Structure 1
């Protein structure tokens, strides 16, 4: 929903600041955090503009929302996206909006849709919202707000979390997938990538040489070098989606060009998986586990 974004230049009286820690999603009733009536009306930076049912359907489709997902809508309006996720996909949902009228409307809509046990709504600043439990994040915000939110998404969301935006992009962070709704509206999907920047080191069983991988990263695009012995070689075909990765290295070995294919996952400062040598080596696939030098890690945004 394109609306309801708290701009930090807006001064909110201290009496409106509510202390809140987002707990795990309840399984009994829809909850809300609403500023009481009679207090100063909050000025919103953009008008309420809901996404159509067709666009909501496209957003759920491109994110492949399922019954194990926790869907957050940052700027939820009347709650239609998280309500649809609960009603049609069996997911749980959390809606955040700065407008108390929209929160009240969302609660009523959840009750009417019989999904009040699967959704929560909170009146609060989306930039202050704890989004770490989300597996899907939905957005319909202005382009400049997407950019302001981008570092928070990359910093707080787990690798593999899907982010969907109605209409607007993330500039230099290219979408992993785009689709157009039946009404002609563009919907974009990003998958949060693991941060694999820095220097990684490991040894293979039975080998004296130590392997070194040096990686740089621009969002989901990764490049770097591989070193075993004196030669430092550029890696090829690095693919990263969430925490899953693969890449190849071509090196000269005993007078022949040998291709090493690495497949694995990255979690924090550990990267591990299998390595296969082509032409196929007698030992077949081998496991590998690399450790990152923590000080070599760089932020993604």
Structure 2
């Protein structure tokens, strides 16, 4: 399998490490740090996706770019029939992702999105317990600090914390509970002297109602010193179930029981995408592109409803 990486940031590095560990040959990198990445992970550096595709035989590509950079990259890959794995979120808004989804459907190209929380080894057990005792209340929170990437601080480039970061939790809730409607949302921006260019909401809160009947509250803030709370909990009859990026926790009358999440779910998501490409079975991916667009739609509804002066968007 010959793979290309478009983007040279942190998450591209994680995928490069995973792919080399899975025996994949990386033939090219696109991005400002492409020469350094090529020296470390193999392959050749390129300035553009088009240049890479013109020079290399590529079986699959990983698109790991800032949210505002989506569009031309994906269309170039679709035009060449190259399956791709795109990191979340799939854009800063809805227009470009919907155009990409339409092109994928027309061409039949395999594509998935990096909602790898779904891939955690404990998720099937969580789903089983939720079926056994359906949740009444869902609480999800992403309370942390401002990431180091400069684009993250600018709403027009990153989309804001709900769209770019807490989207993992929104997606997992959709995956487990079905579609949701936004009942209410609110956000606020406060200046952070240490980040004078930051214009994204520094507090976001939303109330959602899921197809399962459960009601959920979702909150996000980047004002802390580190990520101190990133997870989702389900209040069920007689017990509470909580998933973080480290453990699945069950709390009931018998006490507290914790199970580690297992192998790195990002690696598992890469494995499943590779299997989908090799076998020609798109259904093997963790999250297909069309489903990722539905998560994008829900996150945008939360963000736009919660914006100062915002009103509930029209249903999609």
Higher-helix-fraction structure: 2
Higher-strand-fraction structure: 1
Provide the TM-score with structure 2 as the length reference. 0.31
Structure with larger RCO (C-alpha < 8 A, sep 6+): 2
Provide the TM-score with structure 1 as the length reference. 0.32
Larger Rg: 1
